[in-house]
Each structure stands twice: as structure tokens, then as C-alpha cells.
Amino acid sequence: MKVNGNTQIPNIIVYAALYAIIFGVSIWALIAHRESPTNWLAYAGMIGSVVAGVIKLAVHSWKQQRTV
């Protein structure tokens, strides 16, 4: 069996999976511990993951357009 090492997973899929995991863990923490006084940390993590994902994707897209 020959493995093609030149195949690359699109960045949008990698970023979506990464931030879906972070978002999912944050939601699970909110549901599992509804009365926790640290729920604001989960909300901050959710917002931070979305903002970081958008920034990372925007910077990557900008760099790709610049090199073309």
C-alpha cells in the first residue's frame, strides 16, 4: 500500500474541527455545571475560540491572496 504524503487537508477543515472541539467542551462544561460560579470562563473560552478562528482564517486567506 502506497501512501501519498503530498495530500493536504484544507485549512478550513482543520480550523473548523479545532474550534468545534473547543466550543463543544465549553458547552459541555456549561451544561454539566449550570450553577458554577466560573461559567464566565466557559463563555470567555467560547468567544475567544470563535474570534481566534476568524482571525486565523482571515490572516491565512490574506497571505494566500498576497502570494498569488
Q: Are 23 and 29 in contact (CB under 8 A)?
A: no
The pTM (predicted TM-score) of the whole model is 0.51
Residue 17 or residue 2, greater confidence: 17
Predicted confidence (pLDDT) at residue 15 exceeds the cutoff of 80? no
Predicted confidence (pLDDT) at residue 1 exceeds the cutoff of 70? no
| Grid cell listed for 5 | 504524503
Q: Are 12 and 57 in contact (CB under 8 A)?
A: yes
**What SS3 state is found at 38?**
coil
Query: Looking at the domain assignment, is residue 47 inside a domain?
Result: yes
Predicted confidence (pLDDT) at residue 55 exceeds the cutoff of 80? yes
The parent domain of residue 33 ranges over: 11-67
| pLDDT at position 61 | 78
Query: Looking at the domain assignment, is residue 4 inside a domain?
Result: no
- Where would I find the H helices in the chain? 11-32, 39-67
Predicted confidence (pLDDT) at residue 68 exceeds the cutoff of 70? no
Query: Looking at the domain assignment, is residue 32 inside a domain?
Result: yes
Domain count, the chain: 1
Query: Looking at the domain assignment, is residue 6 inside a domain?
Result: no
Query: Looking at the domain assignment, is residue 50 inside a domain?
Result: yes
